[in-house]
Structures are given as structure tokens and as C-alpha cells.
Amino acid sequence: MEQIYIQIRYGGDCMTMINIAICDDEVPILEFVEREIDHFYVSRNIAVNVMKFTNGSTFLDACRNTNFHLVFLDIEMPHMSGIDVVAKLRSVYDDMEIIFLTSYENYVFESFRYRPLRFIRKSKIDSELEEALEAFQKIMDNSKNYYSFLTTDGVVIWRVDDIQYMEAFQHYIYIHRKDKNIKVRGSLDKYEKEFGTWGFIRIHKSYLVSYQHIYSINTNEVILTDQKKLPLSRRRNEEVKEKFIEYTRRLS
């Protein structure tokens, strides 16, 4: 059966559009989960984009162009099981929350290694689905600031808190997290204006850094919490130190 695609858009801030995938070879389950997501987010006036898939391959293909925040994933699918799908998923898309759907409880322990948010039994889906959505939304509410980057490989949505720094190099901006980086077109000046309110400061003509990822500041370099070292320009030294001290005082 071919991929089924549904897109739902309701009110709310487009900056926090939530992308949810449902991957299950049982169409009645797909439709039920979609209706529950519909009801849950309409009542909260939150914008959501839902895509449905009947097999793991089409879902993984869609992940190349869509940054999903959450996937409802059936474990017992033919050709490629949910466990096989998530094994491939976690090697590339580590941020995505996973809620497993299954008819058999014996898969619970095998699934734990992939850090699922919830494990829903299809026999109890009526009572367990809403609680799972509540748990997911609590995560989203605690990390409200997301930013959509148009990269050379498509749109990527990252939590602002996860971004360590941005680096300008050869007409591109490289956005760095601890585990990976992405490449976008644009200017560091543009991102400095946009991310300044989120605690980012220009430490060098080529570097914009998040205060929450700074470990220490020396005469000519900034050391991040993972001990990565970035150059600090002489003319910006005092300003960076003063603002970092101000930032740490606000936290205390």
C-alpha cells in the first residue's frame, strides 16, 4: 500500500509548528491516532503537521525532508519492523521522540535501548494515547524555542537551547550542536540579530556563541562546556566577559 499523506494545520505560532508522523501498516490504527492528534491539538490551538505512513521505508524517506518531532511507530510491520526503523532513525535523527505501538508486550524490553517516550498497547490505545500526547507536549512546552533552518539538504528544526555556536565560513553558516552540525546560507549578522534575545553573542567576526554553552573565557579564546575552543577577538573581549558575568548572575 502506498504512503498516505495528510496535512493538518491549525492556529498557533508557525515558529512552533509540530511535525508528527504515524507509521503503521493497519489503516484503522493510522486513522484513529490521527483523529486523536487532531482533537488534542485543536483543543489547545497548537499548529500541527501530521503525516501518515504504512511502511517504514516511506517514513525514513520522508525524514530526509521533514524534521519530525514525534513518531508513533508500529513495532510489528512486515518487511521492516518498527525496531529496524528506529535503529536506522537513532543513528541520524537522535532528537525525535518515539512512541511505540504494539499488540504484543514482549517487545517492551527490546525497545528500551532506543529510549522511547512511551509504549502503547493497541488493546489499550483508547486510554493510553492521550496520556502519551500529554507527556510529549510537556517536553515541547519545556523547550518552546525552536528554529527552522533551510539547509542544503532541506528544512531542519532544532531546539535553540541545543545550539552551541554558529560559524561563518566560505559563504555559509555552520550551525553546531555537540553531536552534529548543519550548513545554511545567510549572514552571521542576520543570526546575531535573531538569536541575541536567546543569549547568543558575537565573540569574533566568524563566531556567534550561546552563553549557556560557555565554560570559561580567556584572553583570546572561549572554551565551551565540551572543552571545544573558539577564537575570541581582542576588541570584543571585555564586552563578552561583561555579558557572560551578567548572564551567570541572572541564573543565580
In this prediction, residue 190 carries a pLDDT of: 92
CATH 2.40.50.1020 domain position(s) in the chain: 147-251
> Are 101 and 24 within 8 A, CB to CB?
yes
Specify the pLDDT at position 18.
87
CATH topology of domain 14-142: Rossmann fold (3.40.50)
The CATH-assigned architecture of domain 147-251 is Beta Barrel (2.40)
- Over the chain (252 residues), the average pLDDT of each successive run of 10 is 37 59 96 96 88 95 87 92 87 81 75 82 93 90 77 82 95 94 93 87 96 90 94 92 76 52
> What is the structure's pLDDT at 8?
37
Question: Do 215 and 227 contact (CB within 8 A), yes or no?
Answer: yes
Instruction: List every span in the chain annotated with CATH 3.40.50.2300.
Output: 14-142
Residue 143 exposed, middle or buried by CB count within 10 Å (0-12, 13-18, 19+)? middle
